[in-house]
Amino acid sequence: MTADTERVASGVRGGLQRRVRQGRDFVDETEPAALAAVVVAVGSMGATFVGFLLVSSLTVLPFMVAIAAIGYGWIRHQDVTARVVTLMMTVSTILVLALIIVFIFMESIPVIAYESATVFGVSVPGLRMFIEPRWDAVSEPVRYSMVPMIHGTVMVTVIATAVAAPLGVAAALFLSEIAPPMVREVVKPGVEILAGIPSIVYGFIGFTILSPWASTQFDINGQGTYLFVGIVVGLMALPTVVSVAEDALSSVPESMKSGSLAIGTTDWQTMTSITLPAAFSGVSAAVLLGVGRAIGETMAATVMLRGVPRLTDPLYNVFYGQETLTSIIARNYGDADGLQMDALFVAGVILFVTVLIISIGSQYIEWRMREKFGGEI
């Protein structure tokens, strides 16, 4: 076991022990009436959750009891009730997320079983979805391959990252190290406003302006190219990269920069040799979050791409665009049923697992950065 793993395990054990002690102290210090109200509220909410899962018509009864108990506790024992209510909301959020995960995985099981393939005499569920490039929900044999959509998603994500990463990091470096305070106060909110523009607007601009221009300039039949979808999605991911990277760069201790300047280096040399390397973990996390944003983008890709689930020829051809994992869900969920609907859930599972890995990676990088600077960030 590595030192990092041991430190994490020790921290988890210490945290659990503290929580147990806090729970005991809470029970010992809480008035009986307040404790009774809390127990009734928690028990009723638990019964409500079970009734919801069972689709029971009696679910409303424990819910009303919980509301009454919370109302009484809020009037008579507000401090204790507030703590319990916030805890229940947190637990509810986790349970809802868990239910969503279980649901999408369960719904994808039938098509995974259907798309089994045999390898060395062993049947591997779902393997055919990742080794055959054919998606055809109409003609026999019906196939639901994820390969074309994974290819499209990778193409769009790579191009979007190539746009968002350098532009985002450069803008963050400018805002953090170069721009005067007045300029920073104006430019940063302006960049973040980009995140508030609906993705359908970006997609519509790409469809009406970029795609026709690309068709004319590059002599393309029809509209929709991975290149321009990636550019549009990269611009959409810019606010995330800029905001997170700027926070990371601003968190580098001033003493490190001053020490570099004191030995005669220029501002640019300090930025490239001190600030960027010191904030590399945070900047990397910003880029990863931008990548996650690009992978999960739906409407811009749906509006701009052709909607044909097939591979481009050759595979690296960015001047044609077929389909991505998100766009095939958006384009087909209204008419899909049976195995086709289950295949859309498989696309959702792939997206979920991919973004989850990226999010965990970015959180780990940020944690390493905090460890590096002694918890100052």
As a whole number of angstroms, the distance between CA 319 and CA 322 comes to: 10
Helices (H), the chain: 3-29, 32-53, 60-76, 78-114, 128-131, 147-173, 181-193, 199-205, 211-217, 226-250, 254-262, 267-270, 276-278, 280-295, 299-304, 325-332, 339-372
Map tokens 């195995």 to a residue: 339
What the block records as the tokens of 356 is: 């989850």
As a whole number of angstroms, the distance between CA 73 and CA 71 comes to: 5
As a whole number of angstroms, the distance between CA 1 and CA 8 comes to: 11
What the block records as the tokens of 126 is: 């779902």
- The SS3 of residue 44 is helix
Separation in Å, CA 213 to CA 209, 222, 319: 6, 11, 12
The model's pLDDT over 318-375, given as tens digits with 9 standing for 90+, comes to: 888 888 898 899 888 888 788 889 999 999 999 999 888 888 887 787 777 667 655 5
Q: Where are the domains of the chain?
A: 31-106, 146-376
Which whole number is the average pLDDT over 22-46?
A: 79
Give the percent of the chain with pLDDT over 90.
Answer: 14
Which whole number is the average pLDDT over 20-44?
A: 78
Host H or E run for residue 118? strand 117-119
What torsion do the CA atoms of 347, 352, 353, 354 make, to the nearest 10 degrees?
A: 90
Entry pTM: 0.80
The model's pLDDT over 119-178, given as tens digits with 9 standing for 90+, comes to: 888 889 988 999 888 888 888 888 899 999 999 999 999 999 999 999 999 988 888 888
As a whole number of angstroms, the distance between CA 371 and CA 85 comes to: 33
On the question of pLDDT at 64 being above 90, the answer is yes
Task: Please tell me the CATH code under which domain 146-376 is placed.
Answer: 1.10.3720.10
